[in-house]
């Protein structure tokens, strides 16, 4: 098992990633040698998850600085490279955040290719190390919530999660899963309800695989099931990630998160969102109006990929009638009023403007 | 295309059904020759949907009366037959309703096989004809709701439905789809958001197929999507069916219905449940506590069936990691407080004890 989800190729001049499309059936490693390959890996979801998208974009931009060496106008080249990477996916703010960091660095170095190369590589590595540290810290803060439930009930803590906000969405640890990994390591019994997360099944494919690898008790459920479980007292806490959180605490996350937040609210189940501050977009207020929601291809819904025991291979099958259209929105926005709290690397705060500002006075100052 | 979903075999002594498992890829007709075959068709979901389950059980019991001819103790045989049919699926009340009608008839005839045969066949046929009439009447009442929205907005009425409460869940017309068919026939423009309805995909497979056949504009969406659509004003009305509705108006329907009802409530979208009175269980009050919720095999979630273009056949593929458990609840209960109204064959009433009692004084009298 690879420990991280992205790393520098041992020979340099390339990065390697886990190609997440074939999970859980195969664990395959892909090498990205160009900024275009990095952009494709993001848009075609070889990698996904806000923090990992940010890290891949940062490395992808660094690959662009290598390519800039052969260009007449390195500034124009890098601006185009930034634009191509930015256009891959619209919802996760980490993409913008990582690319604008890299562009700021290049601007300061007057787009001198050699200097940009070194500085952008160092920055990509710093982004990666910071994400690991932030996810670990998120886990520590979230662990306290899980521990408190366990102390009260004395039973395995029942956690519901949606999509994959695990280590495969980050570098290590994950955001929503970090408290779970740390609780498990601390000997607190936990059980995770894993939302399948249609249409791309990141829960059933990736979160379940991660938890199985870590030996953490879990059960895969259809996305339709969480409400019923919460009505019957079978969920102690919901823990999800975020692709972009506004200054007011509205949370964009994988489509369907809002429905779980409604059910949690209706049944007095605490609903927490785990996120590094890199996912907060301090420039936005009303998430429903302002966060761009990605619309992906209908084929992701009409067809699905799985393991055919009969043919001993991964196959795609069509689920819908041939002439029925389908639509595929990637995310929805959970209004702050439904969020019990944000678990960040600095601690837990309410999903409200003042609380977020107090937690991150340095980051929110400019906005 | 077959017009109905179940019918007497032209040669008698058997019934024929559409085997819904291979939809939308193949339309296959199956013949049920014994009460055991009828029980298997219900439990293995060759047929499904509360009204069609009731009709299949009624015909299945009639097949049992044919078998009773060769038995020493026809009463014991028919009691066992009733028990076997009743054990197939726990949630839809129509099953109990149809079987107890047939048993009452046999009891009155002192379980005399010849007399039971004729009377039970006539009753099964009456159940079928009544369902057709009720579904048609439901459509007329629901049509008025759709028409009122169209008069107000002047635009295609956007309807969200979950699972299949269409003609394939009934004999003809469907419950939730009957108003849609009738609006379409009346020239009112409609567009239906079809929830995929994991894990068995009755929406993506059956509702989409029905609507495509009828030429009604529709779009398949992941179950996760409805909340987002409602937040953005893209749904005018939700129309779903019911497997069992209590005297207080709590509604058991396909798992995930509750989540859509929460989203409708949160966004002021009217949420209507269409049901024939045969789906009302006047003996129950609190749906959450009293309605038995079916737990089906985990394989329905871990594996999925679809059309492989590569192999030109229907194939099953595994979606989840090999060692990850899955759980599969078939239904959930939507509390009456989230239901705008019940569309019945006698008209529309609020989901409240008094309103239901006023609409059905004859049926609620005994309870």
Q: What's B168's DSSP letter?
A: G
Strand partners, B219: B193
Contact B15, B7 (CB under 8 A): yes
Strand partners, A32: A15
Q: Which CATH class is domain B139-359?
A: alpha beta
Contact B172, B276 (CB under 8 A): no
Residues 6+ positions from A339 with CB-CB distance below 8 Å: A249, A251, A261, A271, A272, A273, A351
Can you tell me the distance from the alpha carbon of A149 to that of A157, in angstroms, rounded to the nearest whole number?
A: 7
User: Averaged over B118-146, what is the pLDDT?
Assistant: 98
First and final C-alpha spacing in chain A: 41
Q: Using pLDDT thresholds of 50, 70 and 90, give the confidence band for residue A92.
A: confident
pLDDT at A3: 82
First and final C-alpha spacing in chain B: 41
pLDDT digits (tens, 9 = 90+) for A152-193: 999 999 999 999 999 999 999 999 999 999 999 999 999 999
Q: Is the pLDDT of residue B365 over 90?
A: no
Percent of chain B with pLDDT over 90: 96
Helix or strand run (H / E) with residue B159: strand B157-161
Neighbours of B309 (CB within 10 A): 12
User: Averaged over B78-83, what is the pLDDT?
Assistant: 98
Q: Using pLDDT thresholds of 50, 70 and 90, give the confidence band for residue A75.
A: very high
Mean pLDDT of chain A: 97
Can you tell me the distance from the alpha carbon of B264 to that of B228, in angstroms, rounded to the nearest whole number?
A: 11
pLDDT at B3: 82
User: Averaged over A79-100, what is the pLDDT?
Assistant: 96
Q: Is the pLDDT of residue A277 over 80?
A: yes
Q: Using pLDDT thresholds of 50, 70 and 90, give the confidence band for residue A1.
A: very low
Assign domain A6-130 one CATH number from 3.30.565.10, 3.40.50.970, 1.20.120.420, 1.20.1560.10.
1.20.120.420
Q: Using pLDDT thresholds of 50, 70 and 90, give the confidence band for residue A365.
A: confident
The partner residue sitting opposite B259, judged by closest CB among A224, A309, A329, is A224
Q: Say if pTM beats, i.e. exceeds, 0.95.
A: yes
A225: chain B residues, CB-CB within 8 Å: 255-256, 327, 329, 332
Can you tell me the distance from the alpha carbon of B224 to that of B107, in angstroms, rounded to the nearest whole number?
A: 49
Strand partners, A220: A194, B326
pLDDT at A335: 98
User: Averaged over B58-74, what is the pLDDT?
Assistant: 96
Q: What's A292's DSSP letter?
A: P
Instruction: For residue A79, give the nearest of A126, A42, A116 by alpha carbon.
Output: A116
Can you tell me the distance from the alpha carbon of A27 to that of B299, in angstroms, rounded to the nearest whole number?
A: 23
Mean pLDDT of chain B: 97
Answer whether A305 touches B (CB < 8 Å).
yes
**Could you give the C-alpha distances from B347 to A206, B253, B352, B360, in angstroms and in order?**
48, 20, 14, 10
pLDDT at B211: 98
Helix or strand run (H / E) with residue A281: strand A280-281
Q: How far is B205 from chain A (nearest CA, A)?
A: 6
Helix or strand run (H / E) with residue A159: strand A157-161
Would you tell me which residues 34-63 of chain B have a C-beta closer than 8 angstroms to some C-beta of chain A?
none
Of the residues A210, A224, A253, A324, the best mutation for testing chain B's interface (the one with the most B CB atoms within 10 Å of its CB) is A224
> What is the domain partition of chain A in residue ranges?
6-130, 139-359
A322: chain B residues, CB-CB within 8 Å: 24
Q: Is the dihedral of CA B20, B26, B31, B37 positive or negative?
A: negative
Cα A187 from chain centroid? 26
Among B19, B243, B281, B332, the active-site one is B243
Contact A277, A344 (CB under 8 A): yes
pLDDT digits (tens, 9 = 90+) for A311-349: 999 999 999 999 999 999 999 999 999 999 999 999 999
Q: Is the pLDDT of residue B1 over 60?
A: no
User: Averaged over A9-34, what is the pLDDT?
Assistant: 96
pLDDT digits (tens, 9 = 90+) for B140-154: 999 999 999 999 999
Structure tokens given for B356: 């239901």
pLDDT digits (tens, 9 = 90+) for B255-305: 999 999 999 999 999 999 999 999 999 999 999 999 999 999 999 999 999
Can you tell me the distance from the alpha carbon of A291 to that of A258, in angstroms, rounded to the nearest whole number?
A: 14
**Contact check, Cβ <8 Å, A307/B329:** no
pLDDT digits (tens, 9 = 90+) for A97-154: 999 999 999 999 999 999 999 999 999 999 999 999 999 999 999 999 999 999 999 9
- Longest Cα separation, chain B: 67
pLDDT at A366: 67
Catalogue the active-site residues of A. 243
Q: Are strands A218-221 and A190-195 parallel, antiparallel or unpaired?
A: parallel
Q: Using pLDDT thresholds of 50, 70 and 90, give the confidence band for residue B366.
A: low
Q: Using pLDDT thresholds of 50, 70 and 90, give the confidence band for residue A21.
A: very high
**Contact check, Cβ <8 Å, B326/A220:** yes
Q: Using pLDDT thresholds of 50, 70 and 90, give the confidence band for residue B92.
A: confident
pLDDT digits (tens, 9 = 90+) for B151-204: 999 999 999 999 999 999 999 999 999 999 999 999 999 999 999 999 999 999
Answer whether B244 touches A (CB < 8 Å).
no
Residues 6+ positions from B136 with CB-CB distance below 8 Å: B172, B173, B178
pLDDT at A2: 52
The partner residue sitting opposite B198, judged by closest CB among A25, A223, A266, is A223
User: Cα torsion at B53, B56, B58, B62 (round to 10°)?
Assistant: -160
**Contact check, Cβ <8 Å, A263/B263:** no
Q: Is the pLDDT of residue B367 over 70?
A: no
pLDDT at A279: 95
User: Cα torsion at B161, B162, B163, B169 (round to 10°)?
Assistant: -40
Instruction: For residue A139, give the nearest of A250, A29, A214 by alpha carbon.
Output: A214
């Amino acid at each position: 098992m690879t420990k991280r989800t992205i790393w520098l190729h041992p020979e340099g001049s390339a990065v390697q990633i886990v190609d997440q499309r074939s999970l859980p059936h195969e664990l395959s490693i892909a090498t990205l040698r160009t900024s275009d390959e990095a952009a494709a890996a993001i848009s075609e979801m070889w990698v996904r998850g806000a923090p990992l998208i940010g890290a891949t974009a940062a490395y992808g931009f660094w690959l662009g600085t290598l390519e800039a060496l052969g260009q007449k106008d390195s500034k124009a080249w890098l601006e185009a490279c930034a634009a191509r990477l930015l256009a891959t996916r619209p919802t996760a703010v980490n993409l913008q955040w990582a690319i604008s960091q890299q562009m700021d660095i290049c601007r300061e170095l007057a787009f001198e290719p050699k200097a940009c190369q070194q500085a952008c590589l160092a920055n990509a590595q710093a982004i990666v190390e910071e994400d690991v540290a932030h996810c670990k810290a998120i886990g520590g803060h979230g662990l306290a919530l899980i521990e408190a439930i366990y102390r009260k009930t004395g039973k395995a803590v029942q956690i519901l999660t949606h999509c994959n906000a695990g280590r495969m969405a980050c570098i290590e640890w994950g955001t929503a899963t970090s408290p779970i990994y740390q609780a498990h390591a601390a000997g607190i019994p936990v059980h995770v309800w894993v939302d399948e997360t249609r249409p791309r099944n990141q829960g059933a494919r990736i979160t379940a695989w991660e938890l199985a690898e870590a030996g953490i008790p879990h059960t895969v459920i259809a996305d339709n099931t969480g409400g019923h479980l919460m009505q019957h007292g079978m969920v102690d806490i919901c823990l999800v990630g975020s692709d972009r959180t506004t200054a007011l605490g509205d949370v964009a996350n994988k489509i369907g998160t809002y429905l779980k937040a409604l059910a949690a609210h209706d049944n007095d189940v605490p609903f927490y969102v785990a996120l590094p501050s890199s996912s907060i977009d301090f420039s936005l207020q009303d998430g429903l109006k302002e966060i761009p929601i990605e619309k992906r291809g209908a084929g992701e819904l009409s067809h699905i990929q799985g393991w055919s025991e009969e043919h001993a291979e991964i196959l795609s099958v069509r689920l819908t009638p041939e002439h029925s259209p389908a639509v595929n929105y990637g995310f929805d926005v959970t209004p702050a009023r439904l969020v019990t709290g944000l678990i960040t690397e600095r601690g837990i705060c309410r999903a409200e403007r003042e609380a977020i500002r107090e937690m991150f006075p340095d980051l929110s100052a400019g906005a």
